[in-house]
Amino acid sequence: MKHENDIRIAVVGGGIAGLAFALALHKHGLACDVYEGATEVKEIGVGITLLPHAMRELDALGLTAELEAVAIENRESVFYNRWGQFVYSEPRGRHAGYELPELGIHRGKLHRLLWNAALQRLGAKRLHVGHRCTGIDPLDGAATLHFAVGLQGTPETVQADVVVACDGVNSTIRRHFYSDDRVCYAGINTWRGVSVHKPILTGKSYIRIGSIDTGKMVIYPIVDNVDGQGNQLINWVAEIRDPQAAMNDWNKPGRLDDFLPTFESWRYDWLDVPALISSAQQVFEYPMVDKDALPRWSFERVTLMGDAAHPMYPRGSNGSAQALIDARTLADEMAASPSDPGAALQRYEAARLGPTARVVETNRTLPPDFIIMKADELSGGLPFANIDDLISQDDLRAISDNYKQVAGFALRA
């Protein structure tokens, strides 16, 4: 039987899930090696929201102060219909009674912060960039990983006793066990960008406008006073559902002509949506996709984590939170039985497969913006005099609370 220090743990993917798992293992005195496909870590991407249950995991890793230094704390979540009429609002994070804040942050800054923490705590020798996983050969009690290394794609093999696949929605390792694996696309495409803009509403507001059937915008700040003149870096996401539309391409920049016309009339006394979109520094396009829940994640000494295990619609800011919970859960289980990692992987799966499957399904059917969908249903999609004439704030709050309960960040939990 191997001593725990002799167990070779390979983490495939140095994103949020992989780095958080490596840091959580380190807290328990367990070592691992992280293999990242990118040849260097850059601050790329757009915004991400860290909800209280995500912050709980990051706080346990000792990262709260560093995160708050480069993020914006959300004060409220507020919903409007496409006519710019108020539907519902609620306080968020500390303002709602949680111990920790809800933060809007540039995804690249979050990744950089996690990477630097891993460099400091694990050491550079444990972080392997330019290692793109091309395959896996599971063995009895071990596995052989195959990588294409560097810009030349030089073949390399790595032996490991435990493999944790954190290689994202297009996971090579997931595909090994599920060869017919496909993303699920239901005709929703998204475009994302960041724009320099004056603060909107409170300057700490997470804003949803409209719904996917008529066009939807999600808007929140991620950097304060970005230009020294009081303007913020505003993250925005445009979503449109069209059953006839082809799936967006991850690999090319977005074009304003493909989606801006949907929002051309969205000009309110508190925000000019077309102007916000048009001032973006860069636009990315993504399809809104997820995958059906799997019957199992763990195979002998190999398991899946984060988007490799349960890719979900990017609604409710839950993908990163669920990945962070995965990371802590598996690290705890590995520490509980370091000499029997196979059992640890099974306990991890038992704890996390069911809850994440419920979040995937809820993000499809009853996401947080169901609040606006309900208002549109009751108003026939037309402007209304007052939302309270259609539905009470208590009833709308119940929709919000139900999502928090499913996602695992209800205040009482």
Element (H, E) at 91: strand 86-91
Q: Which two tokens stand for residue 221?
A: 């700040």
pLDDT at 406 (0 to 100): 82
User: Smallest Cα–Cα separation from 345: which of 359, 332, 358?
Assistant: 332
pLDDT in tens, 179-193: 999 999 989 999 999
pLDDT at residue 317 tops 80: no
Q: Which of 111-115, 137-141, 384-388 has the lowest mean pLDDT?
A: 137-141
The tokens of 140 are what?
Answer: 């009895």
Closest CA to 107 of 184, 41, 36, 196: 41
Give the residue-averaged pLDDT of 169-173.
95
pLDDT > 80? residue 250: yes
What whole-number percentage of the chain has pLDDT above 90? 85
**What pLDDT, on a 0 to 100 scale, did the predictor assign at position 4?**
45
pLDDT value of position 413: 55
Cα–Cα distance for residue pair 103/67, rounded to 1 Å? 8
* 282 vs 204 pLDDT, higher one: 204
Average confidence (pLDDT) over 54-82: 97
Report yes or no: 107 and 47 within 8 Å, Cβ to Cβ. yes
pLDDT given at position 1: 33
What is residue 44's predicted lDDT score, i.e. its pLDDT? 76
Whether pLDDT at 350 is above 90: yes
pLDDT at 281: 84
Q: Per-residue pLDDT for 143 more than 90?
A: yes
User: Mean pLDDT, the chain, as a whole number?
Assistant: 93
Distance of alpha carbon 344 from alpha carbon 159, whole angstroms: 19
Among the ranges given (68-77, 221-230, 243-252), the one the predictor scored with the smallest mean pLDDT: 243-252
Give the mean pLDDT of 266-289: 95
The reported pLDDT for the residue numbered 368 is 77
Asked if pLDDT for residue 42 goes beyond 90, the answer is: no
pLDDT tens digits along 123-138: 999 999 999 999 999 9
Residue 41 is predicted with a pLDDT of 83
Beta pairing, strands 205-211 & 184-197 = unpaired
Q: Greater confidence, 273 or 39?
A: 273
**Res 165: pLDDT:** 98
> What structural domains and CATH numbers belong to the chain?
4-71+103-183+292-364 (3.50.50.60), 73-101+184-291+366-407 (3.30.9.30)
How many other CB atoms are found less than 10 A from the CB of residue 187? 15
| Rounded Cα distance, 378 and 361, in Å | 24
Please tell me the distance from the alpha carbon of residue 1 to that of residue 4, in angstroms, as a whole number: 9
